[in-house]
Chains A and B, each alone.
Chain A
Amino acid sequence: MKRTLVALVENKPGVLNRVASLFRRRNFNIDSLTVGRTENPAISRMTIVVDADSEKIRTQLHKLVNVIQVQDVTEIPDVSRDLALIKVRVNSQTRGEVVQLCDIFRAHIVDATTDAVIVEVTGDEDKITSMTELLRPIGILEMVRTGVVTMTRGEHVLSPNGYKMRPGGNGYRTNVL
């Protein structure tokens, strides 16, 4: 069963590498991993979807010095979003079909040329999968997905604020990549 973990990590060079290396050497399968900044510039946030024993992953991640917090949020009500950009080949007949599908899926056409349109669709994984299945016969030219980001609903908050940290970042880059 798929499990979703969210982690707060220090915004330091190599941290993504540490996390990825841990997954590989412990033989944990990652379904998707997204990472980005939070409102605290010193801390980044990861959403990790795995198909494995998430308790083992959580405790192993916790051991990395740069990982501040890890939570398994699978059982907590949440909002999860994946974003896809899908470039579809169109002609005068199929263009209307794509517009209709976008209506149904509340997707947007964000670029259009005579031969192609780019569709932007946001939603959970299932929604994006159905959208791709319907666009496939029309002709998908290329596609990119961000991977899932997750936030729990309501009172349950994973805040990146309030941690005691030393300022300064080893001179060079300050991001987890």
Chain B
Amino acid sequence: MKLTGAEIILECLLREGVDIMFGYPGGAILPTYDAMTKYPQLRHVLVRHEQGAAHMADGYARATGKVGVVIATSGPGATNLVTGIATAMMDSSPVVCITGQVPSAVIGSDAFQETDVTGVTLPVTKHNYLVYDVEELAYTIREAFHIARTGRPGPVLVDIPKDVQNAVTEFVYPEEPIELPGYHPPQRATDEDIAAALALIEKAERPLILAGHGVIMSGAGREVLQFAEMTQTPFALTLLGKGGLPETHPLSLGMMGMHGTGYANLAIQNADLLLAFGMRFDDRVTGNLKTYAPNARKIHIDIDVSEIHKNVRVDVPIVGDLKTVLGQLMPHLKPLEHKAWLGQIRDWMEDADERDIVNRDVGERLFAAHVIHDMWRATGGDSVVVTDVGQHQMWEAQYYPHQRPHTLLTSGGLGTMGFGLPAAIGAALGLGQPNVWAIVGDGGFQMTLQELGTAMQERAPVNIAIMNNGFLGMVRQWQEFFYEERYNATPMHNPDFVKLAEAYGIPARRVTRREDVIPAIEWANSITDGPTLIDFVVEKHDLVYPMVPTGADLDKMIRRPLPSENAI
């Protein structure tokens, strides 16, 4: 069968099981857009800005566990993807980007809309390709999907010159196994690794599991939970680990780190054994490395060898797939008890309850933490929540316990404002179910709000909840704590978000009182054939507690003051 390069691209996407792609056309990718007319089974979602396409594909990938696909043109189309690609890279999200490039004959001549896209994206992709030969196209796309989804997943970009899309060749799908001599993701631990880990586990008196994104990506939630229950080991989660283990479980300590629970951080600092499962000791979870978990031996299981000893030196490093490694470890485990340790942790928890804003009567005022907690109650804790970046993101992490994997999608590593709305659209379209909530700040929402147009056009069932505090709240918080309350460039004059939504034909409401929160959420949930928006006008000056200042010891948290007449 003779096909053009453009048709080959789409044939390959079909064979990878792709059913939806997010993109934006332009000169250098037009042959592929034209070929799409012959492939109606591939749904194309027209975004409003290429950054949105990258976040949508990322959100799709995080929600479904499948590879997300992006299509864009050369030059500005491709450079607009960069923030989205970097976001996916930092959070190990499998995304394949296909970009058009100027014809190969003029590459290097500063042709119209020419950018060295493989050069620009080199540091923010897991791997990338520039395909000069149509004969290599099918194999390259296969390889791209393979690399994106295996090992530690990540974004892969394939740049395809226009003449390669137009070239015609006999299409034979390459069925032979992929041979990449330098790419063999590790799987199993050695027997010595397992023995060394067991020795530490059996001796530990104050063990703690640190569960990261790897728990979800490896599909190891069940194994980790079994491990925790059998050895009576409490667990704390990273932001991206949320959902990997049921957070309402009695052994759960919630999130760790800068805005983690006080008791998770105290447990880390007092533990004698840390079991780091699929996490990378990011600076947002360790605080000061010099004083981090000073009394703990450390077992680190990760699929990426370069994460071992990168930030924290560990005693037993195990490079492999978490689910596989735990499968090797579990048969040797004996039931263990850690009563004194769990008792100690329970005492820390009680102190935290007293300070918790959700346990306080705050009168007429509406707090974002309350809105999010009510949302959790009203949705039975069973929504897929996508956040943006800022205070609201941390409150979601604190006040919306997740039970299932792939139910919290958030930009952790890069902290990309503008991620929330497009990623939620990608998730909603991928899942095809109407229980996706985007919790966004008034600041970040305005970075990608043009994607309301995409949500409308595609009738994406996403419920948008703006935590509208009139500030770049998280930055304001830093200015309050660390810059003597000089609020420079953080107050924001916002448009009327309800009218804005209505301009797009999206049903919208404003909520200013606590009693209206749950009815509004139920209203939004009742609309299942398209987007909704709720503008929650929340307390302007609230702060996310506890907070470990950057570089401080993990147990030196700034905590919410105990209740008094004026303090909130």
- A residues in contact (CB < 8 Å) with B: 9-10, 13-14, 17-18, 21, 25, 55-56, 59-60, 62-69, 163-166, 168, 170-172
- Within 8 Å CB of B310, what residues of A? 56
Cα distance, A172 to B131, chains bound together (Å): 9
**Residue in A10, A55, A60, A172 whose CB lies within 8 Å of B182:** A10
Given A55-B309, A170-B133, A171-B136, residue A164 in contact with residue B122 (CB < 8 A): no
Cβ-closest chain B residue relative to A21: B122
Give the contacting residue for B306; candidates A62, A163, A164; CB below 8 A.
A62
Cβ–Cβ contact A67 & B133, under 8 A: no
CB-nearest residue of chain A to B140: A170
Known: A21-B123, A25-B123, A56-B310. A64 touches B182 (CB 8 A): yes
Residue of A nearest to B308 (CB): A59
- B553 at the A/B interface (Cβ < 8 Å)? no
Asked if B44 CB lies within 8 Å of chain A CBs, one says no
| Contact yes or no, A10 B306, CB < 8 A | no
Question: Is B179's CB under 8 angstroms from A165's CB?
Answer: yes
Q: Which residue of B lies closest to A12 (CB)?
A: B129
Among B292-340, those with CB < 8 Å from A are: 304-306, 308-310
Tell me which of A55, A66, A68, A171 has the highest count of chain B C-beta atoms within 10 A of its own C-beta. A171
Return the contact of B147 from the options A10, A65, A69, A168 (Cβ within 8 A): A65
- Taking a contact as CB atoms under 8 Å apart, the answer to whether B306 and A56 are in contact is yes
Contacts of B119 in A (CB 8 A): 17
Contact B305 A59 (CB under 8 A): yes
Q: Within 8 Å CB of B136, what residues of A?
A: 168, 170-171
Contacts A68-B182, A170-B130 aside, 10 further interface pairs with beta carbons under 8 A come to A59-B305, A63-B305, A65-B147, A66-B182, A165-B181, A170-B129, A170-B132, A170-B140, A171-B132, A171-B135
Total number of B residues with any Cβ neighbor in A under 8 Å: 28
Minimum distance in angstroms from B73 CB to a CB of chain A: 22
What would 29 A/B residue contacts be, using CB atoms closer than 8 Å?
A9-B182, A13-B130, A14-B118, A17-B119, A56-B309, A59-B308, A62-B182, A63-B304, A63-B305, A63-B306, A65-B182, A65-B183, A67-B182, A68-B182, A69-B182, A163-B181, A164-B179, A165-B179, A165-B181, A166-B139, A166-B176, A166-B179, A170-B130, A170-B131, A170-B133, A170-B140, A171-B133, A171-B136, A172-B132
Q: How far is the CB of A1 from chain B (nearest CB, A)?
A: 18
Bound form: Cα–Cα A76–B91 in Å: 38
* C-alpha spacing A60/B132, complex, angstroms: 28
Give bound CA distance, A164 to B182, whole Å: 10
Query: For the complex, is B127 an interface residue (Cβ under 8 Å from A)?
Result: yes
Q: A62's contact among B131, B139, B305, by CB below 8 Å, is which?
A: B305
> B181–A68 contact, CB under 8 A?
yes
Which of chain A's residues has its CB closest to B132's CB? A171
B122 touches which of A18, A60, A170 (Cβ 8 Å): A18
Instruction: Determine the distance from Cα of A14 to Cα of B128 in the docked complex, in whole angstroms.
Output: 10
5 A-B pairs with the lowest CB-CB distances in the bound complex, closest first? A171-B133, A163-B181, A59-B306, A171-B132, A68-B182
- Which residue of B has the minimal Cβ distance to A56? B310
> How far is it, in angstroms, between the C-alpha of A172 and the C-alpha of B180 when the chains are bound?
19
Q: How far is the CA of A168 from the CA of B129 in the complex (A)?
A: 15
Tell me the nearest residue of chain A to B152, going by C-beta. A63
Distance in Å: Cβ of B567 to nearest Cβ of chain A:
44
Write the nearest CB–CB distance from A86 to chain B, whole angstroms.
36
Assess whether B180 is in contact with A65, with CB atoms less than 8 Å apart. yes
B303 nearest CB across to chain A (Å) = 11
Chain B contacts for A164, CB-based, 8 A: 179, 181
How far is B394's CA from A163's CA once the two chains are assembled, in angstroms? 48
A10 touches B118 (CB 8 A): no
B residues less than 8 Å from A56 (CB atoms)? 306, 309-310
Within 8 A of A (CB), among B76-131: 118-119, 122-123, 126-127, 129-131
User: What are the residues of chain B within 8 A of A168 when measuring CB–CB?
Assistant: 135-136
Once bound together, how far apart are the Cα atoms of A10 and B143, in whole Å?
A: 15
Question: Please, how many angstroms separate the alpha-carbon atoms of A18 and B183 in the complex?
Answer: 15
User: In the complex the two chains form, is A17's CB within 8 Å of B122's CB?
Assistant: yes
Q: How far is the CA of A146 from the CA of B181 in the complex (A)?
A: 28
List residues of chain B with CB within 8 A of the CB of A64: 182
Whole-angstrom CA separation of A102 from B383 in the bound complex = 79
Q: Per-residue CB proximity of B327-370 to A under 8 Å, as 1/0?
A: 00000000000000000000000000000000000000000000
**Complex Cα–Cα for A83 and B282 (A):** 43
Interface centre among A62, A63, A172 (most CB of B within 10 A): A63
CA distance A164 to B176 in the complex (A): 12
Chain B residues numbered 462-510 whose CB sits less than 8 Å from any CB in chain A: none
Q: Report how far A14 CA is from B139 CA in the complex, Å.
A: 19
